[in-house]
């Protein structure tokens, strides 16, 4: 199995803004966004309908700051990149 650089899901937490970003690839002109829950925004390709990213606002309010494990408000399909 060979990993293709830049093809996986990226995760970034902006502590100052208290926002978590999940992104599959770079944003595109074909991308649209839609609020799918309280403070959760989904980015998707408007032509294919494929989800390309999620943004979670006010992340620290959703979690206890003590544990290093967080419950996220969505599921992620995990499969090898070939």
How does pLDDT run across 43-71, given as a tens digit for each residue? 988 888 888 888 999 988 876 655 555 55
Higher pLDDT, 70 or 39: 39
How is the chain split into domains, by residue range? Answer: 9-59
pTM: 0.67
Q: Quick one: how far is CA 45 from the chain centroid?
A: 14
More confident residue, 5 or 19: 19
| High-pLDDT (> 70) share of the chain, % | 66
With residue 55 as reference, give the H or E element that holds it: strand 51-57
CB 8 within 8 A of CB 81: yes
């Amino acid at each position: 199995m060979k990993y293709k650089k830049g093809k996986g899901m990226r995760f970034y937490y902006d502590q100052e803004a208290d926002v978590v970003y999940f992104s599959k690839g770079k944003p595109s002109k074909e991308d649209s966004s839609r609020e799918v829950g309280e403070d959760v925004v989904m980015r998707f390709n408007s032509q294919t309908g494929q989800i390309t990213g999620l943004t979670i606002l006010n992340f620290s309010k959703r979690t206890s700051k003590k544990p290093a494990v967080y419950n996220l408000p969505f599921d992620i399909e995990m499969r090898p990149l070939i």
